[in-house]
Amino acid sequence: MVKLNKIYTRTGDDGTTGLGTGERRLKSDLRVDAYGTVDEANACIGIARVHTAAIHPAIDAMLSRIQNDLFDLGADLAVPDDGKPLGYE
């Protein structure tokens, strides 16, 4: 059994959440909703992989790639582009 300790952020629940930049957004914000949806899709794909990996390795490989792309998309949504050059090409 997993035992989780309580986690306190000391920010209370004022209906906002923090982006990767520290910026606060309403939980109803489209960006927050989008990365929540991406995360849910990723979880569903993970479940599909558990049930198909041994039977269909080619499908598992495709799902793995999709999951990787979704992780990248979630990160992009959580840390919005500030318009500054990234410093690499």
Write out the residue range of the structural domain in which residue 51 sits: 29-78
pLDDT for residue 18: 84
Evaluate whether residue 62 is within a structural domain.
yes
Evaluate whether residue 74 is within a structural domain.
yes
Model pTM score: 0.72
The predicted model gives 49-63 an average pLDDT of 96
Evaluate whether residue 9 is within a structural domain.
no
Q: Predicted confidence band at 12 (pLDDT cuts at 50, 70, 90)?
A: low
Q: E-strand spans in 1-89?
A: 16-18, 24-26
Evaluate whether residue 55 is within a structural domain.
yes
Strand (E) or helix (H) holding 51: helix 30-52
Q: Predicted confidence band at 48 (pLDDT cuts at 50, 70, 90)?
A: very high
Q: How far is the C-alpha of 64 from the C-alpha of 32, rounded, in Å?
A: 24
Residue with the bigger pLDDT between 9 and 63: it is 63
Number of domains in the chain: 1
Evaluate whether residue 4 is within a structural domain.
no
The predicted model gives 7-11 an average pLDDT of 66
Q: How far is the C-alpha of 18 from the C-alpha of 22, rounded, in Å?
A: 5
